[in-house]
Chain A
Amino acid sequence: MSENKLTQTDATLNPPTTDLVNIKINGVAVKVPKGENIIESARRVGVDIPYFCYHPRLSKGDAANCRMCLIEVASTAPDGSVRKMPKPQAACTMPASEGLVVETETPAIIKDRKGILEFLLINHPLDCPVCDRGGECPLQNNTLFYGPPTSRFIEEKRHYPKSYPLSEHVVFDRERCIQCARCTRFTEDISGDSQLGFLKRGADIEVGSFASTAYQSKFSGNVIELCPVGALLSRNYRFKARPWDLLTQKSICTQCSNGCNIKYDYRVDKIQRVNARLNEDVNEEWTCDRGKFGHDYISADSRLREPLVKRGGKWHPISWTEAYALVAEKFKAAGSNVAGIGGANATNEDNFAFQKFFRETLKSSNIDHRLGAYQGPGAGPIFSRLGYHTTGTTIAELESAKTIFLLGTELADEQPILFLRVRKAARFKGAAIVNALDRAVADTTSASDFADVDLLYRPGTEVALLNGVLNVLFSKELVAAQDGLDFSGLQSAVAEWTPEKAAAETGVSAESIVRAAELLARGSVAVIAGKTVTEHAYYTDIAAVLANLVIAVGSPAGLNIPVTDFNAQGAADMGVLPDYGPGYTPVASAGLNTRGILQAAASGSLGALWIVGAELLEQYADTKLAESALENCQFIVMNALSLTPTASMADLILPVASAAEKDGTVTSCERRIQRIYRAFDISGNVKPDWLVFTEVAELLGGGAPYVSARDIWRDIAQTIPTHSSITLKSLGESGIRWQYAHPAPKPTVAAAPYKAPAAAGTSRA
Chain B
Amino acid sequence: MAIMNLLFANREVPGIENIAVYEAHGGYQGLRKAVSLDRQAVIDEVKSSGLRGRGGAGFPTWIKWNGLPKNYDKPHYVICNADEGEPGTYKDRELLLKLAHTLVEGMAIAGYATCSTQGYVYIRGEYVEPAWQLRKAIDQAYKAGYLGKNILGIEGFNFDLNIHMGAGSYECGEESALMSSLMGERGNPRLKFPHAPLPTVEGVWKSPTLINNVETYCAATWILANGAEKYSALGTERSKGTKIISVSGHIRRPSNYEVEMGTPLLELIDAAGGVVGGSLKAVIPGGSSVQIVPAEKLAGINLDYESCFANGTLLGSGGFMAFNDRTDIVLLMKRTSEFYAHESCGKCTPCREGTRWLYRILDRITSGGGQEGDIELLLSVCANIDGRSYCGLGDAAAWPIVGAIKAFREEFEYWIKYKKSPVGSHAVPPSPDPVNPLLRLSAVNR
Contacts and interface: CB of A to CB of B under 8 A. Distances in A.
A360 B26 CA distance: 103
Interface in B366-411: 371, 377, 380, 383-384, 387-390
Binding site of B, secondary structure by majority: helix, strand, loop or mixed? Answer: loop
Contacts of A68: 349
Interface stretch (B101-109, B281-289, B321-329, B438-446): B438-446
Nearest to B387: A87
Q: Which of B180, B196, B389, B442 has the most CB of A within 10 A?
A: B442
Interface in B161-209: 169, 171, 180, 183-186, 188, 190-191, 194-196, 202, 205-206
Contacts of A94: 194-195
A159 B347 contact: no
A87 B361 CA distance: 26
Interface stretch (A112-120, A270-278, A639-647): A112-120
A205 B353 contact: no
Contact of B390 (A4, A11, A67, A203): A67
Contacts of A6: 183, 205-206
Nearest to B373: A152
B348 A155 contact: no
Given A87-B387, A115-B384, A152-B380, 15 more contacts: A6-B183, A61-B191, A62-B188, A90-B195, A94-B195, A116-B349, A118-B384, A119-B357, A120-B353, A159-B444, A179-B346, A198-B186, A202-B343, A203-B341, A203-B356
B342 interface: yes
A40 to B, nearest CB: 14
Contacts of A201: 169, 171, 343-346
A311 interface: no
Interface string A1-18: 000101110010000000
B191 A155 contact: no
A119 B344 contact: no
A6 B183 CA distance: 9
Interface in A149-171: 152-156, 158-162
Nearest to B348: A65
Contact of A203 (B196, B344, B380): B344
Given A65-B348, A87-B387, A202 B356 contact: yes
Interface in B304-360: 341-350, 352-357, 360
A178 interface: yes
B191 A202 contact: no
A197 B186 CA distance: 9
Binding site of A, secondary structure by majority: helix, strand, loop or mixed? Answer: loop
Interface string A373-406: 0000000000000000000000000000000000
A60 interface: yes
Contacts of B202: 8
A179 B387 CA distance: 20
Interface string A713-744: 00000000000000000000000000000000
A359 B157 CA distance: 82
B345 A202 contact: yes
Nearest to B444: A159
A384 to B, nearest CB: 47
Contacts of B349: 65-68, 116, 119-120, 178-179
Nearest to A70: B388
Given A61-B190, A152-B377, A155-B357, A204 B196 contact: no
Contact of B196 (A8, A67, A161): A8
B364 interface: yes
Interface residues of A, number: 53
Contact of A95 (B194, B346, B353): B194
A123 interface: yes
B104 to A, nearest CB: 27
Contacts of A205: 345-347, 352
Interface residues of B, number: 50
A95 B197 CA distance: 11
Given A87-B387, A179-B352, A95 B195 contact: yes
Contacts of A155: 357, 360-361, 364
A629 B363 CA distance: 79
B445 to A, nearest CB: 6
29 contacts: A7-B185, A7-B206, A11-B196, A60-B191, A61-B190, A61-B191, A64-B390, A65-B347, A87-B388, A88-B387, A115-B388, A116-B350, A116-B388, A119-B349, A119-B353, A122-B357, A152-B377, A153-B357, A156-B441, A158-B441, A158-B442, A159-B444, A160-B442, A162-B446, A201-B343, A202-B344, A202-B352, A203-B352, A205-B346
B199 to A, nearest CB: 11
Q: Pick the 4 closest A-B CB pairs, nearest first.
A: A205-B346, A115-B384, A119-B353, A202-B344
B411 to A, nearest CB: 22
Interface string A284-299: 0000000000000000
B191 A93 contact: yes
Contacts of A162: 446
A308 to B, nearest CB: 49
Contact of A204 (B186, B383, B390, B438): B438
Contacts of B205: 6
Q: Which of A61, A62, A90, A202 has the most CB of B within 10 A?
A: A202
A162 B446 CA distance: 7
A27 interface: no
Contacts of A11: 196
A161 B445 contact: yes
Interface string A68-94: 101000000000000000111110011
A70 B388 CA distance: 8
A198 B188 CA distance: 10
Contacts of B191: 8, 60-61, 63-64, 93
A471 interface: no
B357 A159 contact: no
Interface string B82-126: 000000000000000000000000000000000000000000000
A200 B190 CA distance: 18
A161 B347 CA distance: 22
A50 to B, nearest CB: 13
Q: Which of B194, B205, B355, B446 has the most CB of A within 10 A?
A: B194
A658 interface: no
A97 interface: yes
Q: Which of B183, B195, B390 has the most CB of A within 10 A?
A: B195
A70 B394 CA distance: 15
Contacts of B342: 202
Contacts of B445: 159-161
A86 B446 contact: no
Interface string B21-55: 00000000000000000000000000000000000
Interface in B405-437: none
A181 B346 CA distance: 11
Interface string A90-127: 10011101000000000000001001101110110000
A120 B356 CA distance: 12
Contacts of A178: 349
A61 B190 CA distance: 7
Interface in B189-238: 190-191, 194-196, 202, 205-206
A312 to B, nearest CB: 57
Interface string A349-388: 0000000000000000000000000000000000000000
A666 B19 CA distance: 78
A204 B442 contact: yes
B416 to A, nearest CB: 14
Given A7-B185, A66-B348, A161 B195 contact: no
Nearest to B342: A202
Contacts of A160: 442, 445
